[in-house]
Structure formats: structure tokens, C-alpha cells
Amino acid sequence: MNLLLAASDRDLLLSVGKLLELNGYEVTTAFDGIQVISYTANKKYDLTILDENIPRIPCDRLITALDESGIPVVVLSGKRGSEKQKKQSAPAHSRLSYPFLPDELLAKISVTLATSNTQNERTSAGDEI
Amino acid sequence: MNKVRKKFVIYAMIAVCVLLTTLLAIVNVINFTMVAEDADRITQKIAGGNGAFAPERENSFNPMENGDFGRFDRMGPESPELPYSARYFTYRFGENGEAEEVAFNISAFSKEEARELAQKLRNGKVGWTNTTYRYRVFHDGKYTYVTVVDQGRELLPSYRILIISMIGEFVGLGVCLAFLIFVSRRLFRPLEDADRKQKRFIAEAENEYKIPLTIINANTEVIEKETGSNQYTQSIRRQVKKMTALTKRLGTFAILNEEDPNRSDCDLSRILQSALEASAQKIHAAGIALECDIPSGITAIGNEEAFQRIAEELTENSLKFALHYMKISLKSENEIVTLTAINDTELPDGVYEQVFDRFVRLENAEGKEGNGLGLSYVKDFVKEQNGRVTAEVMGGEFVLRVTL
């Protein structure tokens, strides 16, 4: 499984990236929105974990772009949500609020991947019909 | 802080209003009472003269002497000019009920009207008639006398004082309100600034703690995976857990103290589902059976974050104290939304409102994590959303019910 982990905090990238690797994921890290766009254009990722405060490109625009590419997103949300922040974030099932436990992140990844796979299967079945 | 300022202005205005009204009421009541007393003294004098003023002149008073001018005891009913200035009439009634004029020194009534009025009043004692006329009924054994004195001229200044004092009170209250609003702004500015800084600090502290805690958690997990768990990594986990709880409390405080919280139509079904999803792992790990009845599309007007905290706290509370099972349900009937969290318990039946008090922990909380604050926050949040929350044990089930 290829995951793209995007956040501005390098310590977060280091520790969460390593944690995901130890749990069997192949992880690429990105420091800002431009890197996210650049990486996803060159490689197919199974899931992107995106910090809400990623610099250089607003989070909502990145989510839209990733949605269009068919890459599921887990948004890591830091601040208590203003209405604007909630609107720009991904659906509730793909959001995870800081501070989270490693198990919670791993569970969220599994759920999001499973949901994404189910949706893809339904879409494929619909196309075949 | 705005709420506090508004309350300060309202209470100060109420205090000023009560004070002014009391003062003016006392002044006016005394004023009118004195006019009535003066009128009674006049009618008594008339009664003493059998219906008219005694004709003798009081020689003790000499207006030509300087010392006698401006003496209060020589004014009003004690004035030697009273027999000439009083407007009054007296009728007397014999045993046959025939009215006979004793004195008539008034122009507002015709003699016929005066007789009619006296006839009407003859069974009374003392009082006011036709607004400004004071009457007295007295007897001399043979006749019944009715004297009516015009006090209009004496009452006019009293009415003027009443009207002026009422206008003065309204103007005074208006000026006082403007002054209080102005002063309260200046008075509360330092407090508002301090309050704003405190809230900002709390919100920032809450936010700034979150990512480091996540990183420490992840690092501990990494260390444990690579070198194995030991007492030090376990200690880190325990401390992180405490700090996470502190961060959550800071968040709760920040939400409860928001000046202008966002209020919108919130999807309670989704919020409750999310809270359960977040606790799903813990519920599973604790071996607690979960029963849910959450129809989709149930909404309520309020602050989404407050609803999230209510859902999280209720879920966590039920999970923490459940022995074997917990039930979470949401229903909407007649525009009343009810959120219920149930868990089995060994507590005896009864109402447990004390769980909403701060730092109160029931006997079944022994050995469980927590500080007795969670449900007190639930109560605060529910109150903010204009709802109510109850806690009771019925038939071995602890029932927390939030009604919105």
C-alpha cells in the first residue's frame, strides 16, 4: 500500500511516517501542497494523509484535486473547527483530530481504504451494467 | 464578557430605577398626605364653627410685624386669611332629611348641585369627592352637617410635582443608562482585554499541544515496535494520556466560553455516529456489547462542537461504566430530540443528579480513570443548547438522557 503523508511539521512526518512503515505501508512524505500535487501527478497513491494546515496550497483545493484523481484522503484536523474549516475539510468519516493515538490513525486508514474500495467496486459494477 | 457587561448595566439600571422610584414615591405620597391632612384641618375648623368659620379675628398675629411674615405655622390651614380664601359649602340635615344651607362660598357648584352632593355624602365620614374636593360629615346631636372644601388650588402644585418628578425620573433613567453604557465600556475594557487574552491563550495552548502529543504518541509506538515495550515507554504513554485529557479540558473550556458560538442546524445522527466510530475500538477492546438506534437525519439547532462533546462524553461515560453492554439511541418526537446513553450497572435504582456536579464520582467509579468533570461539562453544554440532562438508574441500567 502506497501512502502519501503531507504535513508541514517535519517531526510529525518523521514519526508518523516511520509508524506507518512499521505497520507495513510504503510512505512518501510531502512538506507542502505543491509537493502533494507533484507527487500525485507522478505516482498512484492508495491514500493521502493530509494535514489541514498544509502550506502553499489551501487544503480544500488539495482535497478537490485528490478527489478528482480518485485518491482517498484522511484529513488531520488541528484547530477546533470553524464553519469555514469544516466546509473545506473532507467528509467526517475521513477526518481525524489531533491528538490521536497510533491505533486510531491505523483504524481510520483501514476504514477509509475499505470505503474507497467499496465505492470503486460499485462504480466498476455500474460501468459494466 | 459582553454578557457580564450587559448584566452589569441591567442590574445597575434596576437598582437606580428602584431607588429613584422609591424616593419619588415617598416624596409624592407625603406631599399628597399633607394636602389631605391640611384639608382635614380646614374641615375640622369649619366643623368647630358649626358649618362655617368662626368670625373672630386672631389678634395674636400681626402681619405688620416683621417676625410674623413667612412663619410656617401661619400658612395653609393656620392662616388668618383662611375664612376669606377657603372655597367651601356646608349643608345641614335635620331629622326629616331636609337640607338647609349653612355656608356657601364657592363658585364651581350651583346651590342645587351643592345640595345634591351634600345629600349624597351625608352618610359618609371623611374623604375625597369629585377628585379635588375634601368633605367631612359631622353631627351636633340635632343636625348632620356636610362640609365640602375645594382643595384644587392646593392639589395643583402636588400634581405638578408628581408629573415633574415622573418626567425627571424618566429623563434621569435615560441619562443614567447612557452614562452606564459609556462607563461600563471603559470599566470593562481592561477586563475584556484580559478575558480575550486568556481565551486566546487557552485556545492556542489547546491547539499547540495537539500535534506534539500526537508526535510523542507516534514516537513511543515506534520505539516500542523497534525495541519493545518497557516501563519508560509505558510511563510516557500514561503521561501523554493525562496531557491529552488536559488538552481536551482546555478545548471544552474554550467552547464553553465562546462569545458568539456558531449556531446552525446540526446533524445529530452524524455527530453521534462519528462519536461511536471514534470509540468503536475501545468498545470492542473492552468486550462491551453495543446496541445502537440512531435513525439518520435527526437534527437540532445549536453549536456543532458542543453537540460533538455531548455525544463523546455520553459515549465515553457509558463505555467506562458498562459491565456487559451499552445502548445508544437518538429519537425525535414533536420537535423534541432525545439522546439516551444506557449501560448496565450494579448501582441501586434512583436519581443520580449529583453526577453532574464537578468532581463528584459515584461508588462504581473506584479504580476507573477520570476526574468527575466529564458529565459536569455535559450539563454545561446541554444548558448552553437550551436543553436538559438527567441521570437515573432503573432496573440495573444507568440512563443518561439529554433532551433538546
SS3 sequence of chain B: CHHHHHHHHHHHHHHHHHHHHHHHHHHHHHHHHHHHHHHHHHHHHHHHCCCCCCCCCCCCCCCCCHHHCCCHHHCHHHCCCHHHHCCEEEEEECCCCCEEEEEEECCCCCHHHHHHHHHHHCCCCEEEECCCEEEEEEECCCCEEEEEEECHHHHHHHHHHHHHHHHHHHHHHHHHHHHHHHHHHHHHHHHHHHHHHHHHHHHHHHHHHHHHHHHHHHHHHHHHHHHCCCHHHHHHHHHHHHHHHHHHHHHHHHHHCCCCCCCEEEEHHHHHHHHHHHHHHHHHHHCCEEEEECCCCCEEEECHHHHHHHHHHHHHHHHHHCCCEEEEEEEEECCEEEEEEEEECCCCCEECHHHHCCCCCCHHHCCCCCCCCHHHHHHHHHHHCCCEEEEEEECCEEEEEEEC
Mutate to test the interface with A, among B208, B213, B220, B221 (most CBs of A within 10 A): B221
Q: A29 by DSSP, 3-state: which?
A: strand
Count Cβ–Cβ pairs < 8 Å, chain A vs chain B: 71
- Which chain B residues are Cβ-neighbours of A101 within 8 angstroms? 217
What residue type is assigned to position A71 of the chain? I
Mean pLDDT of A33-55: 92
Per residue in B328-351, pLDDT (tens digit) is 999 988 888 999 999 988 888 888
Q: Is the pLDDT of residue A96 over 70?
A: yes
Answer whether B222 sits within 8 Å of A11, measured CB to CB: no
Mutate to test the interface with B, among A8, A80, A93, A111 (most CBs of B within 10 A): A80
Write down the pLDDT at residue B71: 60
- Which chain B residues are Cβ-neighbours of A86 within 8 angstroms? 304
Answer whether B262 sits within 8 Å of A82, measured CB to CB: yes
- State the nearest Cα–Cα gap between B175 and chain A, in angstroms: 40
Write down the pLDDT at residue B72: 61
CB B278 within 8 A of CB B336: no
Write down the pLDDT at residue B301: 85
- State the nearest Cα–Cα gap between A101 and chain B, in angstroms: 6
CB A63 within 8 A of CB A37: no
Write down the pLDDT at residue A83: 42
Answer whether B281 sits within 8 Å of A103, measured CB to CB: yes
Q: Which of A48-62, A111-125, B36-50 has the lowest mean pLDDT?
A: A111-125
**Which residue of A9, A80, A86 is in closest CB contact with B211?**
A9
Q: Is the pLDDT of residue A124 over 50?
A: yes
Answer whether B210 sits within 8 Å of A78, measured CB to CB: yes
Write down the pLDDT at residue B74: 66
Q: Does B269 touch chain A (CB under 8 A)?
A: no
Strands B264-267 and B289-293 turn out to be unpaired
**Which residue of A82, A99, A103 is in closest CB contact with B214?**
A99
Range 53-92 of A in CB contact (< 8 A) with B: 78-83, 86, 92
Write down the pLDDT at residue A84: 43
Mutate to test the interface with B, among A29, A98, A100, A103 (most CBs of B within 10 A): A98
Write down the pLDDT at residue A82: 45
Residue B370 Rama label (left phi>0; alpha psi -120 to 50; beta): left
- State the nearest Cα–Cα gap between B379 and chain A, in angstroms: 20
- Which chain A residues are Cβ-neighbours of B254 within 8 angstroms? 80
**Which residue of A15, A79, A97 is in closest CB contact with B218?**
A15
pTM here is: 0.56
CB A71 within 8 A of CB A90: no
Answer whether A99 sits within 8 Å of B262, measured CB to CB: no
Per-run averaged pLDDT (10 residues), chain B, 404 residues: 84 95 95 92 89 67 58 70 88 90 92 93 91 91 91 92 94 94 89 83 80 92 92 90 80 70 81 83 85 88 82 86 90 88 88 81 72 79 85 90 89
CB B227 within 8 A of CB B36: no
Mutate to test the interface with A, among B202, B204, B206, B217 (most CBs of A within 10 A): B217
**Which residue of B240, B255, B277 is in closest CB contact with A80?**
B255
Q: Does B178 touch chain A (CB under 8 A)?
A: no
Per residue in A58-90, pLDDT (tens digit) is 888 999 899 888 899 999 987 655 444 444 444
Range 105-124 of A in CB contact (< 8 A) with B: 107, 111
Answer whether B210 sits within 8 Å of A103, measured CB to CB: no
Answer whether A19 sits within 8 Å of B207, measured CB to CB: no
- Which chain B residues are Cβ-neighbours of A111 within 8 angstroms? 277
Structure letter (DSSP) for residue A78: -
**Residue scoring higher pLDDT (A73 or A91):** A73
Write down the pLDDT at residue B24: 94
